[in-house]
Structure 1
Amino acid sequence: MKKLVFVHGWGFAAEFWHGLATELPEFASEFVNLGFLGDVHPINDPNAVYITHSMGLAWVVEQVANCQAIVAINGFTKFCRDENWSNGVPPRMLERMIRQFDRTPETVWTEFMKNCGAIDPVYPTKANTEALSKGLRCLRDCDIRLKFKNLTADKLIIAGDQDRIVPEKLTRASFGEDVIWYKGGNHLLPLFEQKKLAVDIRRFLDR
């Protein structure tokens, strides 16, 4: 039986994946928790398939030595723009989020979730503000372009064409044209497109 390891993005926890995992009952499932909400729980398994969301892809590329395959949903290889990466998000946007988060974390988290596509998000009582602040800095600084390119693992890239966090131009800059696009999809495909994702992931793994 193939094992799936699910890795969430900034601001979420392992529970983010429970709905999608339920749609893939024929696979064993484990869940990384990056510590934004709840305790840290890393998993490094070279025999697993890693299912990632957003900056979860960067965590896998940086922290997991090897794996069977990677599914990147709403992902990217470098988030912020620089002189050699014109399609990234302006770094001043992240700098502003970091400054504001240090003062009013609830406001920044809530606004981010709304931009992701969440409906009426409520700042979690178990939020770890220190870990969330560090995560924003990792988001600002991460650059896995070369490491991702050199990965030998099979890859499946899925994105939403209405993603306000990772715009289409950033997705294409990160991954080229080998992307499955979800028409009308936002940054929360694992929450809103679970059945469709299960079909695409199953088809990918069957190959």
Structure 2
Amino acid sequence: MNLHIVSQGTARADQHELVFIHGWGLSGRIWQSLIDRLSPRFRCHAVDLPGHGASKPGPVGLNNWADSLADTLAESVQKPTVCVGWSLGGLVTLSLARRHPERLAAAVLVASLPRMVRSRDWAWGLAPAAIEQTRQGLAGDYATTVSEFLMQQVLGEPGAARAVRSLRSDLIDQPPSRAGLERGLDILHDTDLRTALAALSLPTLWVAGARDRMAHPAGMDWAARQMTGAGYWPVERAAHAPFVSHERRFAERVTAFVDELARSRPQPAGEIRP
């Protein structure tokens, strides 16, 4: 299954292309302001996950979602990309790295955890009851349920009003399907990639909101330390959507990360870097 993808900017031989993977309940449109800022430098692609935005619900389960993303990238992007995954999109990015490492040059994981739900041996993430309450709400007024869940993501941010407008605009313009929402909740509830991190040899930047109530920054710090050479950046005064509330700083950090990645690539014989 191929996913809906919107591309912007001109591809450059000396730069990686960027792929943006949104969180639960939204679509690739949530990245538009950031992409407008980055596309003069990079070719950017915003993907709609299954059952979100303009993508059909399609397959069930994280592995199938990652496979669908890999199929989409194989048709739309000619070389390994830097995948920027937010929250649920971070889980999809990690699964893509495990199953299709040839599609990725690097990853930026934003407000995401290898396990998004708390358990006896995992203190960071959502309470299981929060997932179940949201699931039950989908059977009733699912639009209100999704809206309330998303609003919780930006509480405590200095730019909360702007973040709320962005989230609500995306939700109203491209509402997700109920099937997509239910399958996304299953992934959030069931996925546990903690033991997989050490085996991933991928340049990775973990970006946390210092005030995040959903993906605790301490959990993201822990995750970064499980991967060889991974970086960790806590965004002060940010909550669960730092790329919205602190867009300029986020864009600058992603640009620096991708530029450093380009500088570290092996050069063809005889090439001299200025």
TM-score (normalised: structure 2) = 0.69
Residue 108, structure 1, aligned to residue 123, structure 2: no
CA offsets per residue over residues 112-152 of structure 1, 9 Å max, x none? 12111243636536331111111111111111222333211
1:134 is matched with 183
Pairing 1:31-110 to 2, within 5 Å after superposition:
31-34=46-49, 35-40=51-56, 42=69, 43-44=72-73, 47-64=80-97, 65-66=100-101, 67-110=104-147
Residue 206, structure 1, aligned to residue 259, structure 2: yes
SS at match of 1:103: coil
1:188 is matched with 241
Residue 28, structure 1, aligned to residue 43, structure 2: yes
Alpha-carbon distance in 2 for matches of 1:62, 1:171 = 17
Which protein shows a greater Rg? 2
SS at match of 2:84: strand
Of 101, 116, 119 in structure 1, the residue corresponding to residue 164 of structure 2 is: 119
Which sections of structure 1, spanning at least 5 residues, go unmatched? none
Higher relative contact order (CA 8 A, sep 6+): 1
Give the deviation of 1:7 after TM superposition: 0.6
Alpha-carbon distance in 1 for matches of 2:45, 2:197 = 22
1:144 is matched with 193
Letter in 2 for 1:189: P
**Are 1:36 and 1:129, in contact at CA under 8 Å, matched by a contact in 2?**
no
Judging by fraction of residues, say which structure has more helix. Answer: 2
SS at match of 1:136: helix
**Are 2:108 and 2:205, in contact at CA under 8 Å, matched by a contact in 1?**
yes
For the aligned residue pairs, the C-alpha RMSD in angstroms reads 2.2
**Are 1:98 and 1:137, in contact at CA under 8 Å, matched by a contact in 2?**
no
SS at match of 1:68: strand
- Greater CA drift, 44-53 or 131-140: 44-53
**Are 2:26 and 2:175, in contact at CA under 8 Å, matched by a contact in 1?**
no
Q: Which runs of 4+ in 1 moved over 6 A?
A: none
**Are 1:38 and 1:126, in contact at CA under 8 Å, matched by a contact in 2?**
no
Identity %: 22
Residue 8, structure 1, aligned to residue 57, structure 2: no
- Greater CA drift, 57-66 or 105-114: 57-66
